[in-house]
Amino acid sequence: MQTLNPYSFIHIGLSIRALMHCSGLSYDFILAEAPTLIKGLKDIGFQVSSMGLQELNGFIDKIKAMPKNTILTSQQSDELHLLMRKIEQTVYAEASTKSIYIVNEKRYALDILLKNPEKMFTDDVFSTLPIIAQYDLREGFICLAFSRPTAAEDNIFYREPPLPRRLCDREIYFFRCKFYY
């Protein structure tokens, strides 16, 4: 699971549209906005779209040598517009393969459940558990964050049989009450 800022998707769309409607823009703007788009696509893991940016990189290489405050010609604007339409279609196609989940804050600290499950325990309890138990707890906490209490219970109590006993031995059996609403 990867945590991303939702604005990064919006920013990519804005960058695509700004470069697509580029008539009257300067080389300086293009040279500043294109790397932002390229970095944004790589940061959110759009590998297919990132690979399709070779033509944009070629266009950038052509205008790099020109004075930065020069305005794009109509031929360059048309070329960049067509290029960005192709990129937009690729990004749209790749985006349709992704899903975004919005987790509602409830009675759980989502940051702890999703990123720092060891904070749910007292000192060093989590690190003393077997690796498989740590994994099951992480997965169980993710299920809790996504409001799947039965799956959470399955991950925490049934996959690793010694786990409930170990948790109870350390007087950490507060989990059971959280799974039954």
Check residue 92 and give its pLDDT.
92
Check residue 87 and give its pLDDT.
92
Helix (H, G, I), strand (E, B) or coil at 70: coil
Nearest alpha-carbon partner for 158 in 178, 133, 138, 131: 133
Q: How big is the chain, counted in residues?
A: 181
Check residue 85 and give its pLDDT.
93
Structure tokens given for 50: 């990132």
Structure tokens given for 116: 């720092």
HSE, CB side, 13 Å, CA atoms: give it for residue 72.
26
b/e 158-168 (16+ beta carbons within 10 angstroms → b): eebeebbeebe
* pTM > 0.85: yes or no: no
State the maximum Cα–Cα separation within the chain, in Å, rounded to a whole number.
Answer: 75
Check residue 161 and give its pLDDT.
56
| Residue 175 pLDDT exceeds 50 | no
Residues 112-140 pLDDT 10s: 777 787 887 777 777 887 887 788 888 88
DSSP single-letter state for residue 26? B
